[in-house]
Amino acid sequence: MNERTRSWIESAGDPDGDFPIENLPLGVFERDDAEAPRIGVPIGEQVLDLREAWENGFLGGLSGSLGRTLEASSLNDLASLGRSASGELRGVLTTLLSDESSPLRTSDQRDRILLPASAIDSCLPFSIGDYTDFYASENHATNVGRMFRPDGDPLLPNWKHLPVGYHGRASSVVESGRPIRRPSGQTVGPDGPPPKHGPCRLLDYELEVGFFLGRSSELGTPIPIEQALDHVFGLVLVNDWSARDIQKWEYQPLGPFNAKNFGTTISPWVVTLDALEPFMVAGPPRKADDPATLPYLTSDQDVAIDLELEVLIQSADMRTRGMAPHRISIGNYRDMYWTIAQMVAHHTSTGCDLRSGDMMASGTVSGPDEENRGCLLERTWRGENPISLPDGTERRFLLDGDEVVIRGWCRNDGLRIGFGECRGIITPALG
């Protein structure tokens, strides 16, 4: 094991913390004494205000064009410069926060530049132009197929030939902690049509991993799979809330619409690919009887990410009684069938262009075992096997007042980096 870099910020040395100096993710936050949101980096239990650090000369090693992007209120401009720029920033920050003689360590401006994480409010990290959601887990797609097509092949004929996806609603992507209102929509009862309009009864979460695009591409020019990760800025945790009863009625013939457009929650800090490199593993293996992957989706350099995940639920009663959220699912992003590079290559194979700040997500992350199922639809098998919570109640689907918490982390050789939390509480439908 290589000797680790150490930060002079004591809390960054917590072996169970999410934000050691090897992580240095980026995000956007609000502070009480500033009018506009700021770009920041969490380090231990503090957040470094990059605008303050830049304007006060603590990031002097950066090029001017890169430094000026730190004055913005989103990561779009910074990410558009590509991975070399974020790598340059990462190097300067590592020196600033690890060097015992760092000028910031003893500066009288330190308390203005390094803020307690508990004192800031996180915002969306990007101005999101487009959002695409995939369906990249074979375990999830197989489970859903078995539920709804018990007499046929659980996977549709195209599923192992291409990363299936749909275009989501960017305007309803929200930051962690913002409440999610229960949607209303058209649903049908067990006897079928005619439909009724009213509050969703089968509200679900979906455990997903998302990624933001950095460097843009040109309309009409596909991105080769070997170059796909050059366009990816970093990863976040995603909860793509789903209204299952609305979805069941509306999804044919064109797929998800109102059942998915009312809210998608993401974690606040974007973990860069540079930070994730130690946790990249060989791309997922294919079974002997799987079809050959087409050349534009094939690369012997493709990778998956060994990212551990968990989902917890805390009911309103549990919060009142001071009971901690209860874990109901664990998973790992390395179990996905389709990789990030394959999603990018397929998305752009028609010549579709990508822009800085575009967001893509994996679809539900599910593994081979029951405890690895990444949504309540699977976890309770359409409500047939409810989950017991510590307050004595059961869940088939989410109730008003329930909070869903998603956490994720990577670890090996004594190093652990985390993503923070992706949280959201369900509030009652209007009317």
Active centre residues (catalytic): 140
User: In this structure, are residues 97 and 59 in contact, taking their beta carbons and an 8 Å threshold?
Assistant: no
C-alpha pair distances (Å), 52 with each of 31, 40, 57, 68, 186: 12, 10, 9, 12, 50
DSSP 3-state assignment of 297? helix
Distance CA(145)–CA(427), nearest Å, equals: 30
User: In this structure, are residues 420 and 430 in contact, taking their beta carbons and an 8 Å threshold?
Assistant: no
Distance CA(110)–CA(60), nearest Å, equals: 16
Distance CA(274)–CA(233), nearest Å, equals: 9
Q: Is the peptide bond before 253 cis (omega within 30 degrees of 0)?
A: yes
Q: Is the peptide bond before 194 cis (omega within 30 degrees of 0)?
A: yes
Q: What is the DSSP letter of 287?
A: P
339-350 CB burial, b ≥16 within 10 A, e <16: bbbbbbbbbbbe
Strand partners for 115: 47
Tokens representing 182 are 């229960």
User: In this structure, are residues 284 and 336 in contact, taking their beta carbons and an 8 Å threshold?
Assistant: yes
Distance CA(101)–CA(342), nearest Å, equals: 44
